[in-house]
Amino acid sequence: MGHGRGTGDRSAFGAGGNPSSAYRPRRLRSTPAMRRLTAETRLHPADLVLPMFVREGLTDAAPIGSMPGVQQHSLDSFRRALAEAAEAGVGGVMLFGVPETRDAEGSQATDPDGILNVATRVAIEEVGDELVVQTDLCLDEFTDHGHCGVLAKDGSVDNDATLERYRDMALAQAEAGSHLLGLSGMMDGQVAVVREALEAEGHRNTAVLAYAAKFASAFYGPFREAVDSQLVGDRRTYQMDNGNRREALREVELDIAEGADIVMVKPAMSYLDVLADVAATSSVPVWAYQISGEYAMIEAAAANGWINREAAIDESVLAIKRAGADAILTYWAVELADRLHATGI
């Protein structure tokens, strides 16, 4: 028998190998209007969540050197930035607090007058009817050792002792008015403990976002500057190993079973395969976090004239949406929302 093209190939190509009139996918790419009409993936401003850093003791916003365009906010600049986010129509804001003092237990995390809880009350007052006000529930910003939990005598992170701190943090944040708690510490059982505490104290409408598949990543570097992290070493005993894809699904399943309302994959760009896996199987909404290193790489390359900045931003966020994210945390949320209003992607 010969080894020429089969019947299907002959129907697709005419004489000389030219495509037949039946096989011209480029028809649907012919104009901007046609591409817009036939797009399979779309972004909307409400798909975007803006992470924000509020630092205790500042009198004005302070730039973050490794994240051009991102700031640590004073309470005054925070109010202005909240108004901009609401005007842009983003879906919500995720708040991180940077305290002046730290200790081994992260005491400021549960102090009603601690910076994160104060910022939460400000956000609720300013934009609580317009945006979903979200709070990072983790100890790393508040501890003098920079880990996401309480340390045991041998220097390891004590999972169960940390859960007690998370329980108290959850109640403090809920009482400050947070609509959604972002459990980012990757402690075993954290969702169950927090959900139980919220229910017991009457905070039944406070939602829980589980950072279910959070990987140990080199791309967190600029975030460490943003929160003035005191970390020495790494977090590989509790954050996920970079090569583990199946384990991510197990983590997600456990968090959903414990009562998570939403699950997160973090980082986004390096884990789009994991994001797609989770999106294909999750019974709850799936979010992804476009983290500080992803942001910094694009900003640095654009500053050097190596890439088109706006096109790279749009493509990177669209890729996360295409992989299955229902919402995306990104430091470009307001800029991108404004552009979407103007042009659409």
pLDDT in tens, 93-103: 999 999 999 99
Give the mean model confidence (pLDDT) for residues 189-215: 97
Mean pLDDT of the chain: 92
Residues found in the chain? 345
The catalytically annotated residue of 214, 235, 321, 339 is: 214
Instruction: Name the pLDDT band for 9 (thresholds 50, 70, 90).
Output: low
Say which residue the tokens 């995306």 belong to: 328
What was the pLDDT predicted at 1? Answer: 45
Closest CA to 20 of 7, 30, 31: 7
Sign (positive or negative) of CA dihedral 68, 88, 210, 284: negative
Share of the chain above pLDDT 70, in %: 93
The catalytically annotated residue of 73, 179, 266, 339 is: 266
Contacts of 102 (CB under 8 A, 6+ apart): 108, 142, 143, 144, 230
Res. 13: pLDDT tops 90: no
pLDDT in tens, 275-315: 999 999 999 999 999 999 999 999 999 999 999 999 999 99
Give the mean model confidence (pLDDT) for residues 181-197: 96
**Residue 214 designated active-site:** yes
Rounded to an integer, what is the distance from CA 229 to the centroid of its chain? Answer: 18
**Residue 153 designated active-site:** no
What was the pLDDT predicted at 11? Answer: 58
What was the pLDDT predicted at 12? Answer: 63
Res. 38: pLDDT tops 70: yes
Walk me through the domains of the chain, giving residue ranges and CATH numbers. 45-342 (3.20.20.70)
Is the whole-model pTM more than 0.75?
Answer: yes
